[in-house]
Amino acid sequence: MSASSQRRGAAIYLRISLDQTGEGLAIERQRQECHRIVTERGWRVTKEYVDQSITASDARKRRPQYDALVRDFEAGLYDALVCYDLDRLTRQPRQLEDWIDAAEGRGLAIVTANGEADLTTDAGRLFARIKAAVARAEVERKSARQTAAARQRAALGRPPLGVRLTGYLPTGEVVKEEAAVVRRIFALFHGGESLRGIVQTLATEGISARNGRPWNPSTIRGILSNPRYAGRAVYRGAETGELGSWEPLVSEDVFRVVNARLADPRRKTVRLGTDRKHLGSGLYACGVCEGPIQAWSGERYRCRDGCITRSMVPIDSLVLAVIAERLRRPDMADLLAAPPEDATNAMDAVTAAQNRVDAIAADYDGGLIDGTRFAVATAKAKAELKTAEGRLAQLAPNEALATVLAAPDPAEAFLGSSLMAQRAVIGTLTTVHLDRGTRYTRTFDPETVRIGWRTGASS
């Protein structure tokens, strides 16, 4: 639409808030004023847009006619806009600036009936811009106040305001029943269970999330990855490096192991970490070709290449019984003689690498190194951190065994653990090879299941 020779097409925008009667002008009065301006300027009215009882200061509240106004402007349906005052149009600084841009860049004439702003003139645009700047400063001051308060809370180690964390009251006190569920979730994952396995376990036990809905893998992951459960203060999703004033629900070590495993990209493909429905699938090996054993139809295991096909139930029963028997022996604590040291070393390596990353950041903040050196050093330290975390993640399945061994009756604890934890223990302690069964007989021969003990586990 050409604005030069033809009469301008003017949109009229009217808004009244019925809930603010003291402030509001009657809509009829607004309308008359606006029409007067259109007539005085020699324009013509294209359309009236009226929003009733809707505030302009809340961006989330929908104003259907305002939206139509914006759409119609984008579509080029008018080139002048008349409203009673700029506050009627919008109280959102960003929206106001959009209108100022439209006035300047696309020649939209904006005039207010109360005479405060005529955006066809320099002075009018200056006024509108000052008004927008003041409004924006007010919004920023408000959020700065909130931000400062939140940062201070985090620095003081107080629990953040807002939605409360499962397991704690907003004031930071522990909610006993919820805390027990959180601890259980950590214990299950720490013991080698998968996210989906935990969801199933909790569903079986009739435990739902706080909103009454069933748990799902992403809510479980949210719990496991929240540093506040280890007592660490968090601000804007990042740890402040301070300890919180609340009681941690899990130890620092457990939290670190759990999160190393969560972060490990191999977790989804790693043998022991994937969800399995059967004890031995992917875990047992074929006695003929050494290839992995898979679950086959009709409760059977089968080598991937088809060398052998065996019934599941007797094999799994035998493996469980043998492991349980091993765990009943008095020297069973020796089973873990080596692994914990490895785990400690791996954890120390993670801590050291993390400290290095932090130290480099501190040097940069303190002006001791420049941006280039910061980038190089950070990349190197982060690579080390990743390697250390990967090592820790690989050791994590041992935690299932540690959990079992820490129980008063390890054999009982093993037999009562989840499938994933049992798989982790079996994988840590043994190698299981399945040989060909005897043809034409249904009798199970235990000799066809070869259980080899890994170093440290035999005796």
Residues that bind Zn ion (CB under 5 A): 286, 288-289, 291, 303, 305, 307
Cβ 351 to Zn ion shortest distance, Å: 43
Cβ 269 to Zn ion shortest distance, Å: 21
Cβ 271 to Zn ion shortest distance, Å: 17
- Among residues 287 and 410, whose Cβ is nearest to Zn ion? 287
Q: Which of 124, 131, 83, 72 is nearest to 103 (CA)?
A: 124
- Among residues 217 and 292, whose Cβ is nearest to Zn ion? 292
Q: Which residues neighbour 319 within 8 Å (Cβ) at sequence distance 6 or greater? A: 279, 280, 426, 430, 432, 449, 451
- Among residues 305 and 325, whose Cβ is nearest to Zn ion? 305
- Among residues 256 and 310, whose Cβ is nearest to Zn ion? 310
Cβ 287 to Zn ion shortest distance, Å: 8
CA separation for the pair 79, 3 (Å, rounded): 7
Q: Which two tokens stand for residue 21?
A: 């009667």
- Among residues 19 and 305, whose Cβ is nearest to Zn ion? 305
The burial class, CB within 10 Å (0-12 / 13-18 / 19+), for 60 is: exposed
Report yes or no: 236 and 148 within 8 Å, Cβ to Cβ: no
Cβ 449 to Zn ion shortest distance, Å: 15
- Among residues 286 and 411, whose Cβ is nearest to Zn ion? 286
Q: Which of 350, 329, 347 is nearest to 429 (CA)?
A: 329
Nearest-5° Cα angle at 194, 192 to 195: 135
The burial class, CB within 10 Å (0-12 / 13-18 / 19+), for 242 is: middle
DSSP 458: -
- Among residues 254 and 308, whose Cβ is nearest to Zn ion? 308
Largest CA distance in the chain: 105
Cβ 281 to Zn ion shortest distance, Å: 14
- Give the 3-state secondary structure of residue 164: coil
Cβ 290 to Zn ion shortest distance, Å: 7
